[in-house]
Structure 1
């Protein structure tokens, strides 16, 4: 995560990029024949050095989906960012950090302004608008039940609205009501249900997930599609 933050900061700021080049070249000379992977301590040192440059404009860091990372890595990065903010104040540097996450893992900071999105009226209004615009038909009872079961989880709404539209196409409003009754409230259970259900493309979906999880490097979309098709065709011939 820290590597990603450093990369994106460099990608957006030419002055910081120019400051980074000598550091990169120095490391490359040292590790010409060895392991040149950047260590956490080196990345932290570089990010700290950014503050010492006293940039004329503020630095804004947006870190999304902390809950999707390893908990210990999250705690380490959050702790580092907290110390970085203190250092920024001492250095007279304007640094703003926004972290977003689901409620797990529960990681606190000493000084922070916390906003629980799903409890805000604006968030619930956005959900209501999405349901009204995306649902195939207008049915106030179904719309109200969606919002109630969603409990503020927008991703749940997106998936369930798609399922309800499919049910409507296949069996009209009664099928929508049945689907809504059966769909779990918990988002992870919704994913589990989708993975367990019979689907003509299930083998392809599982194979694609395996490629994503087990590959040694991130695959480009065209590579993923090519690998998937090639494997399925080979399997069909056998």
Structure 2
């Protein structure tokens, strides 16, 4: 992977390399939460996540990668599952923790780099990525897939909800089915079981939301990190 060298002013995660999205905008992720809700912070869990949960899609220890202010993580945790939400945006994490306290929900939230999830020292049975994958460039996607493999049990399920390149009014980082399949390969410890059309809600789309893919991806024994 190309080195993401240097830092960004105001980034509280000391030593973290800025992502392609941060380099493009010139702002750390945390800045997105400084002037009111971020564009992706809709104040409730994504409908696709609520549906997955109602269908029993989450089991065991759950990781929400890029949890933001925690609405998806809190919804899953309210079902009685142990959930850890991670992000690099301290402002978002503080909001998530306050929501958990106010609602009496036992969810954990921690600062973590999505490209170094092995440093958590924990393994998860289910992972949710709602809106993180589509902010990664091509090289970052490969590193991210390996990072996720380092923090998941063989047989774990990963759900990726991301902007789709199929349809009008796409989000700012649309990706294709082939992009998902190219990132989550057996040599990185993954098998893509399904990629189906869905919708993702944002603050800048109407009630129908934006076209999205919902990918179901399985962690397998392979040459990726075990």
Normalised to the residue count of structure 2, the TM-score between the two structures is 0.26
Q: Which has the higher helix share?
A: 1
Larger Rg belongs to: 1
TM-score normalised by structure 1 residue count:
0.25
